[in-house]
Amino acid sequence: MDISNMHFVDFPCKDLKLGYSLSKSLRIPDMEVDQKGIQPDFYIDKTIKDYDWVRFTENILKAN
């Protein structure tokens, strides 16, 4: 999502394509998505036991 304006070039064999970006978004410093992923609204951290994540998620869904 941080990379845009992709350009693709066919290899001579026509079996492969090379893709490269023409721009990278720098709009929100330290909030890039690539290599980090999209930040969740709710975190399941170490305070949530492995066996309790379903109940934790259900409670969030019921509250919203």
Considering its fold, how many domains does the chain have in total?
1
Q: Tell how strand 17-24 and strand 3-10 pair up.
A: antiparallel
Instruction: Report the pLDDT value the prediction gives residue 16, as an integer from 0 to 100.
Output: 93
Q: Distance between CA 32 and CA 9 in Å, rounded?
A: 26
Q: Distance between CA 64 and CA 44 in Å, rounded?
A: 17
Domain that holds residue 22: 3-63
Instruction: Report the pLDDT value the prediction gives residue 1, as an integer from 0 to 100.
Output: 62
Q: Distance between CA 43 and CA 27 in Å, rounded?
A: 25
Instruction: Report the pLDDT value the prediction gives residue 42, as an integer from 0 to 100.
Output: 85
What does pTM read for this prediction? 0.42
What is the tens place of the pLDDT at every residue in 2-56? 677 889 999 999 899 999 988 877 666 666 666 666 677 888 888 999 999 999 9
How is residue 41 written in tokens?
């609204």
